[in-house]
Structure 1
Amino acid sequence: MSCGGAGGRALDVVELCGLEVRCVVGVYRHEHTRTQPLVLDVALHLDLAPAGASDDVARTVDYGRVAGEVRFLLEHARFRLIEAAADTVARWLLLPPTPDAPRPQVARAVVRIDKPEALRGLARPAVVITRDAADATVRATTTPFGVVERLHESAHLAVSRVRVAPGAEIGAHRHDGEESELTIGDQLVAQGRPLPWGTAVTWPARAVHGWRNAGAGEQTLLRVARPPSNDEPAELLGAPAAPATTDYAPAGTRS
C-alpha cells in the first residue's frame, strides 16, 4: 500500500514483517495471567529519496528502533484489544520526530496484528489498521520540565510521549500504579544513572523516582502507566537507588 507524495508520486515504504512479541493481551480473565504471542507487520510510508541519495540513516526510519519501541509498548501496556494496540502503535510511529532520534516524518502507517493463539487453532484472528499523520493527534500538556503528549488513554492504561527540555529535571515523584518508561535519546539520567537509548525502567506503584536531561537538546521517553495517574511530588530519602533496566535496542544497533 502507498499514499500520494509530492507531485503525485507514490511514497516509498519501510516494512517490518513478522515481529513476534509475547505479552499479556486480551479481554478474558484467563488472558490476564499469561503471555501469548502477537505477530506484527508494520508498513511505514514516507519519502526515501533523501536516504537513497545520502546513505544516511537519519534520512530514513531505523527499523531496529521501531522493533524495540513496539516490543516495549506491547509488553508493558497489557492492551485488552488488539485494535487498541494497533492504533497506539500507529500513532506512536506517526508522531513528528524529535531531535534526539532524527528521522523523516512518516506520512502513513499500516499495522497488522495477528493473535494466533486466541481461538486455539480454530482460526487466526487479526486486525489491520491504516492511519495517516493527521490521525496521530495527541493531548499535549505543558509541564515545568517540558511537554507530555498523551497518545492513548483508557480506564486501565495511559501511553504518552514525554519530552524533557535541555537541562530540565522531572523531579522526585510517584504514581498510584506501575509506570514503565523507555529512553528514546541518549542523554537521560534516572536516579543518577545515565541510560543509553532503548533502555526501559519499570517503577513499581508508589516508588519514588525522577529523571534529568543531561544533554543540550530535548530528550524523550515513551511512557506506559497502568492505570493512568498524575505525578505526585514526593521526597527522595537517602541516596537514590540505581534502577533495574531492560535493553530494548536489538543487538548490534547501537553505534
Structure 2
Amino acid sequence: MTDRPTPDRIAVRGLTAHAHHGVYGFERENGQTFSVDAVLELDTAPAAAGDDLTRTVNYAELAQRLHAVLAGDPVDLLETLCQRLADVCLADPLVQAAEITVHKPQADLGVPFDDVTVTIRRERA
C-alpha cells in the first residue's frame, strides 16, 4: 500500500441559483432554489510558494462557471447536474479530483424533510 499525502482542497459551498431542474412539469415550470458545494483537490504548494494566483484555482472564476451550469439548461436528474458541475471543475488542469454536492431543499417528497442531496466524486483519468 502506498502512502499518499492528503491532497489540498479548495471549497466553494452554498452557491445558489433559481433553476428548473426536475422530472415533474411543475418543477420545470416554476423552478426552485438549488445550491451546490464543490470541493476541489489539487496541489496548492506551487501557488503558495510564489504567492501566484496563476498556479492555483481562481475560485471567483470557478464560482461563475458553476453558477452558469446550476442556473442553466434544465436536467431531469440531480445526478446529471452533479456530473456537469464536476466536468466544469475537472476542466482546470490543476484539479486532480472534485466532489460535488447538489442540494434540492424544496423537492416535493410528500413528507417533511430538510434537504435532498446527491454527492459525487470524480477524479482526473
Task: Report the TM-score, using the length of structure 1 for normalisation.
Answer: 0.45
Q: Which runs of 5+ in 2 are unaligned?
A: none
Which structure dedicates a bigger proportion of its chain to strand? 1
4+ long deviations beyond 3 Å: none
Q: Deviations over 1:164-218 (max 9, x none)?
A: xxxxxxxxxxxxxxxxxxxxxxxxxxxxxxxxxxxxxxxxxxxxxxxxxxxxxxx
1:74 is the counterpart of 2:70: yes
Inter-partner Cα distance in structure 1 for 2:91 and 2:35: 23
Amino acid at match of 2:53: V
**Structure 1: which amino acid aligns with 2:112?**
L
How many Å separate the matches in 1 of 2:46 and 2:92?
Answer: 18
C-alpha distance in 2 between matches for 1:54 and 1:43: 23
Q: Name which of 25, 28, 47 aligns with 2:24.
A: 28
Partner residue of 1:19 out of 15, 22, 35? 15
Match of 2:108 in 1: 119
2: CA distance, partners of 1:64 / 1:15: 11
Q: How far off is 1:40 after superposition?
A: 0.9
Measure how far apart 1:34 and its partner are: 1.7
Residue aligning to 2:121: 130
**Matching residue of 2:35:** 39
> 3-state SS of the aligned residue for 1:8?
coil
**2:49 is equivalent to residue 53 of structure 1:** yes
C-alpha distance in structure 2 between counterparts of 1:25 and 1:112, whole Å: 15
Q: Distance in 2 between matches of 1:67 and 1:95?
A: 14
Distance in 1, Cα, partners of 2:91 & 2:68: 17
Higher RCO by CA contacts (8 Å cutoff, separation 6 or greater): 2
3-state SS, counterpart of residue 76 of structure 1: coil
CA contact (8 A) 1:95 1:133 kept: no
TM-superposed deviation, 1:70: 0.9
Partner amino acid, structure 2, of 1:24: H
* Structure (1 or 2) with the larger CA radius of gyration: 1
Aligned residue in 1 for 2:98: 109
State the distance in 2 between where 1:92 and 1:107 align.
Answer: 12
Report the CA distance between 1:43 and its aligned residue: 0.3
Deviation at 1:66, TM superposition (A): 1.0
1:119 CA drift (Å)? 2.7
Q: Distance in 2 between matches of 1:19 and 1:34?
A: 20
Shift of 1:131: 0.4
1:26 & 1:96 partners in 2: Cα distance? 28
Q: Give the structure-2-normalised TM-score.
A: 0.90
Gaps of 5+ in 1: 98-104, 135-255
May I ask how many residue pairs the two structures share in their alignment?
122
